[in-house]
Amino acid sequence: MHGPPLVGWLLVALCAATGTWCLLRMRACRAAAERRDAAAGALMGAGMAVMAVPVTVLDTGTAGAVVFAAVFTAAGLHALVLVRHDRHQVHHAVGAAVMVYMAVVMARGTAGHGGHAAHAAHAAHAVGRPEAAASGLPLVSGLLLVYFAGHALWCVVRSPVPAGVPAVPAAPPALAVGGGATGPGAPGGGTARTADGGPGADAAGAGKGWLLSAPEVAAACRASMAICMATMLLTM
């Protein structure tokens, strides 16, 4: 993508982190609809992270644009097939369409220049001549920008109030390695331990489960993805 390299690397970090969270959530979800939603988010995060790498570091050229277009065309069609059962798939279809749109813009920027037009476009931005850089259709980019900015705001407004990490259940009775229960006046000796590995394991499991399943975390990730998409549209 064009624009300041710092913005590009920040987008890479945020998209990669969000995509990784979606991938972990996909493994933790039980409902099929939630797994599909997480899988779509993971794919989108990975694709956006690669696309956001500054062009001076990674120039995928026309071949990369074709791969992006093919992958996200398939993802968009798959989302449209699932719209009947899950209305949220409409948003995933729109996101996939935007990725195809940006891939087409990338292909236009590199076609006919031996793969060096993207570098020339980046240089045009650097010297203050954005009109010389490859860009998308202003009306289309503007409408998509409004959509994703509105979606980010909607995610923030509709996000549930965090309730905090769930309390760790009471630890099971301690058992003695060498005999019966331990405690004041308990017969037998030995080292006390919990039956399932101790309360520390429970705390770690509860915290991890909350991070992957909390609706407020999911809303924050959707908002961050929408903000990243809007930022990428601004750099076109």
CA dist 141 and 98 (Å) reads 9
CA dist 127 and 129 (Å) reads 6
First and final C-alpha spacing in the chain: 7
The confidence band for 211, taking pLDDT boundaries of 50, 70 and 90, is low
Q: Is the pLDDT reported for residue 52 higher than 50?
A: yes
The confidence band for 217, taking pLDDT boundaries of 50, 70 and 90, is confident
Work out the angle at residue 110's Cα, subtended by the Cα atoms of residues 54 and 137, and round it to the nearest 5 degrees: 85
Report in angstroms the alpha-carbon separations of 91 from 74, 88, 174, 221: 15, 6, 50, 14
Residues near 49 by Cβ (< 8 Å), separated by ≥ 6? 11, 12, 15, 16, 19
Average the pLDDT over 119-146 and give the result.
63
Residue 56 is classified by DSSP as T
What are the φ and ψ backbone dihedral angles of 193, each rounded to 5 degrees? -155, 160
pLDDT at 189: 47
Runs of H (alpha helix) within 82-186: 89-110, 117-126, 138-158
Using DSSP, state whether 193 is helix, strand or coil: strand
For 96-124, write each residue's pLDDT tens digit: 999 999 999 887 866 544 444 444 444 33
Using DSSP, state whether 163 is helix, strand or coil: coil
Q: Is the pLDDT reported for residue 70 higher than 90?
A: yes
